[in-house]
Chain A
Amino acid sequence: QVQLQESGPGLVKPSETLSLTCAVSGASVAFDYWTWIRQSPGKGLEWIGLVSDNGSSNSDSGSTKYNPSLKTRVTISLDTSKRQFSLKLRSMTAADTAVYFCARDRGDGGLDSWGRGTLVTVSA
């Protein structure tokens, strides 16, 4: 059974960088696509981006795709040795306050395993 668990700060100051990690158990991060999605309070789901293993000997690498609206501020990376992937979102504002989910995409577009989500609030 695949399990994903997000971790990171619940509070970030405006202009700072958010760093979240998603720990994966029950599956190898060397396969499939590993995804970040967020949900602002009372709003719908927004895809942030994904990372997949590009086969490099560097354990901290990956091929990425990002939401065009966030592309200039986001970096998603993969650490196969630690079985986790990470999100960095720079220049945070109040509009970035949301529950952040990590999820697995098997490649058919279906996100079949999700973390519980972590609420990130942007406030001074």
Chain B
Amino acid sequence: QSVLTQPPSLSAAPGQKVTISCSGSFSNIGNSYVSWYQQLPGTSPRLLISETNNRPSEIPDRFSGAKSGTSATLAITGLQAGDEADYYCATWDGSLASMVFGGGTKLTV
């Protein structure tokens, strides 16, 4: 059971927009930055979003992050076949004094 809750799977058609949710609590998302990772099959995770809504320069602007209260979201617009992957949210939990991950969302395009 993960501290952060994500939908196990989502699917959408190419070109569409999808939003992946990440639900936490006051001790984690409510008080910390959120990061998002993409993991293609058989590869290491890749940082998509840091500090809740900052995108590394190499990440396309189709990916965006947001937070409201104790929940965060990752939005992906203009879906492509290459976006089919597992997506994870993560943040620091002050009560646990530990970084925590969501359980992951498998995106099918």
Contact = CB atoms under 8 A, between A and B. Distances in A.
Contact of A44 (B44, B51, B102): B102
Interface string A35-49: 100000000111100
Interface string B19-51: 000000000000011110100000011110111
Interface in B51-70: 51, 54, 56
Interface in A48-105: 50, 65-68, 101, 105
B47 A112 contact: yes
B35 A110 contact: yes
Given A45-B101, A46-B101, A68-B98, A112 B88 contact: no
13 contacts: A47-B101, A66-B98, A105-B99, A108-B35, A108-B50, A109-B50, A109-B90, A109-B92, A110-B47, A111-B47, A111-B90, A114-B44, A114-B45
Interface of B: 2, 32-35, 37, 44-47, 49-51, 54, 56, 88, 90-92, 96-104
Interface of A: 35, 44-47, 50, 65-68, 101, 105-106, 108-112, 114-117
